[in-house]
Amino acid sequence: MKIAIISDTHDNVPNLEKALLWMKENKIKKIIHCGDLCAPSILSNVLVPGFAGDIHMVFGNVEDRDILPQIAKDFKNVKHYGDLGEIELDNKKIAFLHFPDKAKVLAKSGKYDYVFYGHTHKPWLETIGHCQLLNPGTLAGLFYKATFAVWDTESGKLELKLLETLKSTNDMQIYK
C-alpha cells in the first residue's frame, strides 16, 4: 500500500490540489498529515473532496484546536488524533506529530518503526535504531521547495516528492 505523508500545507490550495491529483493518479490509499493544515475549511473544501482514502491528522502549531477536530468528525474517512497520532499499518508501528524534538524522543524509544513529523519545513530522513524518522517537508513551499513523501508499506521504501516536478495526466481541478 502507498501512503502519502504531508505536512505544513499552510492553506496553499493550488499545491494541495496538485498533490492530491497526483496521489489519486498514483493510487495513494492513505494520507498522514503531520500538522499545520491551517484553516479548517481546507479540510472540508479541498482535502476531503480531493481524496477518497483515509486521512490521519494531528495538530500543528497554527490550527484552530476547537474547530478542526469538529470538522474532522463530519467525515468518516478522517481521523484527528490531537497532538500525537499512533497507528499500525502492515504490522508496522507508526507515530506522527508536528514537532521534531518530540519526534526524535519517540524514535529513540524503540516503540515505533516509523515516526513522521513536520514544523521545520525541511525534508529530513534519519534512522535511529530500527526507526525511520521522517519529515516530508512543506507542501506549502514556505522556506523550502514544496515537497511531500510517499511510503510504500510493502517494500518499506520512503520517497520524497518535489511538487514542481510532478506530472499529471489530468490538468483539471480536483473539485469544481
Is residue 75 domain-resident? yes
> Which CATH number covers residue 6?
3.60.21.10
- Going by their DSSP bridges, the two strands 85-89 and 124-128 should be labelled as unpaired
Is residue 71 domain-resident? yes
Q: What is the pLDDT of residues 121-171, one digit of tens each?
A: 999 999 999 999 999 999 999 999 999 999 999 999 999 999 999 986 665
Is residue 49 domain-resident? yes
User: Are 161 and 141 in contact, with CB atoms under 8 Å apart?
Assistant: no
Domain count, the chain: 1
- Structural domain span for residue 146: 2-165
DSSP 8-class letter at 138: B
Is residue 171 domain-resident? no
Q: What is the pLDDT of residues 43-71, one digit of tens each?
A: 999 999 999 999 999 999 999 999 999 99
Is residue 92 domain-resident? yes
Is residue 173 domain-resident? no
Is residue 149 domain-resident? yes
Is residue 8 domain-resident? yes
Residue in 127, 155, 142, 151 with CA at minimum distance from that of residue 163: 142
SS3 of 19, please? helix
Cα(97)–Cα(133) distance, rounded to whole angstroms?
Answer: 11
